[in-house]
Chain A
């Protein structure tokens, strides 16, 4: 029997696609914010004067950069109930994604911090600024400019990576694909729809990154 391609077969399942897309966006945005915060802590820790702190931060980065997100997801998902906590699969996914992408954020932020000349710190200190003041008033604005483009790419990586959370039962786009595909037996069409959604989402992020970048840093390329 020949396979007849028809997108109409997917239409009954489109209702369920909307919350799935929203879940993908929510988990990606939350991961972006949390991993950025985590990355900031570790990026500063990597520049610490104490060897132990530096080592810990480096170990964190190297470990999570060299392990698959999927394994981290499973690890967190199975660990949470074992140690007696109760978290939804969404929260477990968020925790695992934050740990994983936090390592990449650390590297991006560290590159941003390194790019700042040590003279700027000296200048801040000579003006009597505290460490925190220097970070907030002198360093941050400049770091933002350097890390802006890599952050945009990272957000797309998070968006695409969030598809793996379907493995631990988060109802996002990839998981919609599986249920809708299995129910309609229209795998080809459902994957096409999912691919199109991801394509639109990542291109939208890319577009927004460029547009906002133009506003924020007019002189930057």
Chain B
């Protein structure tokens, strides 16, 4: 392999950090947005349910690239608010992550038996208390493992931010490619960077999942 690319190592590492930061931010936004949507989805009010359903269906049917363009070019025009490439990318990825997280969180919440709701209500707990103390801890075991998968998806999806000019890992690779005068080796290196990041996280997720399963089994035994 071309050893002259080695000097770009530190730059790529820095860029990889940015990629992780962007994906992490969107995952956090996705967790909050997804929670909100999931609660809407199981709510008693039809309009809320409908909104949450339309939201997830919409984001499942539109490419992230279009959402990104929308956030970067469209929103500032209408709202007169200048959005940086980073801001637009975070918003677009966050909106997309929200739709995916909402499905995961909904599955988590509904996996907790209705008896738990009734028991909590019978002991005089409010909605918030039930969610926080009874449903939340049990749902978390179902929610966490697939969230790792969504994080990996975000890591890969964040590469589209390069198209609107946010210089993360992919854009850095393209810039380096231009400064070394073409070729394709650097893009292989970038792909390898993504692979190492995603694969490591997916391995860690596997460990987490098996631990969660054990915890879930213990819980089941405790419950009798």
Partners in one complex: yes
Interface string of B170-196 (1 = CB under 8 A from A): 100110010000111001101100110
Supposing A68-B159, A75-B188, A163-B66 touch, asked if A82 and B183 sit within 8 A by C-beta, the answer is yes
Interchain CA distance A160-B195 in the complex, whole Å: 22
Given A3-B78, A166-B65, A191-B69, are A67 and B184 neighbors across the interface (CB < 8 Å)? no
Which of B54-62, B121-129, B216-224 lies on the face that meets chain A?
B54-62
Are the CB atoms of A187 and B69 closer together than 8 Å? Answer: yes
* Complex contacts, B202 vs chain A, CB 8 Å: 66
**Counting CB contacts under 8 A, is A149 at the interface?**
no
B198 in the interface (beta carbon within 8 A):
yes
Set of chain A residues within 8 Å of B160, measured between Cβ atoms: 68, 70, 164
Contacts A67-B156, A174-B63: A181 and B184 contacting too (C-beta < 8 A)? no
**B64: min CB distance to chain A, Å:** 8
A203 in the interface (beta carbon within 8 A): yes
Note all chain B residues with C-beta closer than 8 A to A70. Answer: 159-160, 162-163, 170
**Most interface-central of B63, B80, B173, B199 (chain A CB within 10 A):** B63
Query: Are the CB atoms of A66 and B199 closer together than 8 Å?
Result: yes
Q: A71-B170, A79-B184, A187-B69 are in contact. Are A163 and B63 (CB under 8 A)?
A: yes
Per the bound structure, the CA–CA distance linking A126 and B155 in Å amounts to 49
> Are A195 and B177 in touch, CB under 8 angstroms?
no
Contact partner of A191 (CB less than 8 A), chosen from B70, B188, B198, is B70
Contact with B along A159-196 (1 / 0, CB 8 A): 01101101100000010011001000001100110110
Q: Give every chain A residue within 8 A of B63 (Cβ-Cβ).
A: 160-161, 163-164, 174, 198
Q: How large is the interface on A (under 10, 10 to 19, 20 to 34, 35 or more residues)?
A: 35 or more
State in angstroms the CA–CA spacing of A160 and B62 once bound together: 7
Q: How far is the CB of B68 from chain A (nearest CB, A)?
A: 10
| B107 contacts partner chain A, Cβ-Cβ < 8 Å | no
Q: Which residues of A contact B60 (CB under 8 A)?
A: 156, 202
How far does the Cβ of B198 sit from chain A's closest Cβ, in whole Å?
Answer: 4
B73 within 8 A of partner (CB) = yes
Assembled-state Cα–Cα distance A72/B159 (Å) = 11
Q: A67-B156, A163-B66 are in contact. Are A74 and B187 (CB under 8 A)?
A: yes
Residue from the list B67, B156, B182, B183 in contact with A68, Cβ < 8 A: B156
Residues on the B chain within 8 Å of A79, using CB: 184, 187
Q: Is the interface of A mostly helix, strand, loop or mixed?
A: helix
Tell me if B74 counts as interface (CB < 8 A to partner A).
yes
List the B side residues contacting A199 at CB < 8 Å.
58, 61-62
What residues on A are CB-neighbors of B187 within 8 Å?
A: 71, 74-75, 78-79
B66 adjacent to A82 (CB under 8 Å): no
CB-based contact B74/A187 at 8 Å? yes
| Residue B15 interfacial (CB < 8 Å) | no
A55 in the interface (beta carbon within 8 A): no
CB of A34 to closest CB in B, whole Å: 20
The answer, yes or no, to whether A217 is at the interface (CB within 8 Å) is no
Asked if A177 and B191 make an inter-chain contact with CB atoms under 8 angstroms apart, the answer reads: no
Bound state CA distance, A181 and B72, in angstroms? 12
A164 lies within 8 A of B65 (CB):
yes
B195 touches A63 (CB 8 A): yes
Q: Are A198 and B62 in contact (CB under 8 A)?
A: yes
Complex Cα gap A80–B152 (Å): 28
**B50 close to chain A: CB less than 8 A:** no
CA distance A70 to B159 in the complex (A): 7
Which residues on A sit within 8 Å (CB–CB) of B67? 195
Q: Answer whether residue A122 sits at the interface, using C-beta atoms and an 8 A cutoff.
A: no
Residue pair B182, A78 in contact (C-beta under 8 Å): yes
Residues of B with C-beta under 8 A to A181: 69, 73
Chain B residues with CB below 8 A from A163, complex form? 63, 65-66
A198–B73 CB distance below 8 A: no
Indicate if the CB atoms of B194 and A71 lie closer than 8 Å. yes
Nearest to B76 among chain A residues (CB) is A187
Chosen A-B contacts, 24 in total, with CB atoms closer than 8 Å, are A5-B78, A66-B152, A66-B198, A66-B199, A68-B170, A71-B170, A71-B187, A75-B187, A75-B191, A79-B187, A82-B183, A82-B184, A160-B63, A164-B65, A164-B160, A174-B66, A174-B69, A177-B69, A188-B70, A188-B77, A188-B78, A191-B73, A198-B63, A199-B58
